[in-house]
Amino acid sequence: MLVALLLSSLVTVSAHAGPRFERVVHIVFENADLDDALAQPAFAALARSGAWLQDFRGVTHPSQPNYIAMIAGSTMGVRLDGNVDLEGRHLGDLLREKGKTWKAYAQGYPGNCFLGKRLGNYVRKHVPFLSFKSVQNDPTECARVVPAERFFEDLKRKELPDYSMFIPDLVDDGHDTGAAHAARWFGATFGAVLNDVEVVRNTLFIVTYDESESYVGPNRIFTVLYGANVIPGSRMVSRADHYSVLRLIQEGFGLGSLGKEDARAGAIRGIWSEP
């Protein structure tokens, strides 16, 4: 199995250092079992050059509650993929309260706080910030959800927010096309960005899936951290999930927690270089 081959080539690190970053870019793909994702050259190369979270798991099935969990520290009772309108706090609130900025860059999103279920290959269920009434009803907050091409414009102008969530559409996230297409798209789209020393030095890239394709088994998914003070070729062998990533973002920015599963999540440790 490819997982076994990667295990033999990666270095286990027991450092006690913590994360240090100025920005986070959180890229989310769709519905692939771990072995399928690791079989793709672009993702396998990323696992070797970043920090692979070896036992990373989706929170549940289907897709939407996983996306909600990524920013809310809870599935908020969401069990299905239909549009939801939620009350409650989320990562964007914590960032704003600490003077930090955020944006969600969604491929195919038409802008103007579009709250429809779908337009072409864009679907609202994969953009969790739009599920919260506090974003829907505040033009300033809703304007933080933008079309995906704005990411590269902001990057070129050195205007990326502190936290970016990047959501490919149903084709490029692999939902309708599979892991091979998603990995090729990722390499073509982000390869040059990940090779830019100036960008990577202070930016933590989180490349992950929402859930496994199979509903049978432990819901293990591909997740790699890259950049900032990540030790290349390191791995974390203990279990982690979307709540662990939320906790990581909170810790790195000094945000405090939402007091839900994020407060109880296991920390991501052993992959960070010392100051």
Residues facing residue 28 across a β-bridge:
208
Residues with Cβ < 8 Å from 241, sequence gap 6 or more? 56, 57, 58, 59, 69, 265
Q: Compute the distance between CA of residue 36 and CA of residue 195 in angstroms, rounded to an integer.
A: 25
User: Each residue of 229-240: pLDDT tens digit?
Assistant: 999 999 999 999
User: What does the pLDDT read at residue 4?
Assistant: 47
User: What does the pLDDT read at residue 44?
Assistant: 98
What CATH superfamily classification does 2-264 receive?
Alkaline Phosphatase, subunit A (3.40.720.10)
Q: What share of the chain has pLDDT > 90, as a percent?
A: 93
Rounded to two decimals, the pTM is: 0.95
Q: Are 212 and 33 in contact (CB under 8 A)?
A: yes
User: Each residue of 72-113: pLDDT tens digit?
Assistant: 999 999 999 999 999 999 999 999 999 999 999 999 999 999
Order of all β-strands in the sheet with 203-209: 11-12, 234-241, 51-57, 223-227, 203-209, 23-29, 163-167, 102-106, 145-147
| Domain boundaries defined on the chain | 2-264
Per-residue pLDDT of the chain (275 residues), as tens digits, is: 445 445 444 544 444 689 999 999 999 999 999 999 999 999 999 999 999 999 999 999 999 999 999 999 999 999 999 999 999 999 999 999 999 999 999 999 999 999 999 999 999 999 999 999 999 999 999 999 999 999 999 999 999 999 999 999 999 999 999 999 999 999 999 999 999 999 999 999 999 999 999 999 999 999 999 999 999 999 999 999 999 999 999 999 999 999 999 999 999 999 999 98
User: What does the pLDDT read at residue 275?
Assistant: 83
